[in-house]
Amino acid sequence: MADIFSTDNNKENYMNDEVNNNEANEGRKLFPEPFYRAKSVAQKLDMGVSTIFKYTSLGLFPKPMQLSTRLSVYKGEELETWVNEVAPQLAIQSRQPKSEQKKFY
């Protein structure tokens, strides 16, 4: 199998680009809009909608605002706070193998 880095210099440049990308993304919010439906929250967090509902019922996730009998939305500010402050402390256990897990925070 061919190495994607033909020289050490290319590898160093790649690593510097990764660090710069991470620094640029630190100031960017995951939830910049004021309101989100459950499906879009699930996509952004790489979770299932049923998992979000389960965490909400357990008190581990922000409660949605009920706009009508069939429409509820999550506040973007509350989701941003949850991602930055609460989620890292929960240590949520995943059933997926470690190699397939993705971190969303």
Specify the pTM: 0.61
User: Model confidence over 46-60: pLDDT tens digits?
Assistant: 888 998 999 999 899
CA distances from 3 to 8, 16, 29, 59 (A): 11, 18, 35, 47
38: pLDDT strictly greater than 90: yes
Residues 34, 36, 42, 46, Cα dihedral to 10°: -30
Please answer whether residues 76 and 33 qualify as being in contact, where contact means their C-beta atoms are separated by less than 8 angstroms. yes
Locate the DSSP E strands across 11-64: 35-36
- Return the DSSP state at 58: T
The residue-averaged pLDDT of 54-75 equals 93
12: pLDDT strictly greater than 90: no
Q: What was the pLDDT predicted at 88?
A: 78
Band of pLDDT at residue 104, cut at 50, 70 and 90: low
H or E stretch at 74: strand 71-75
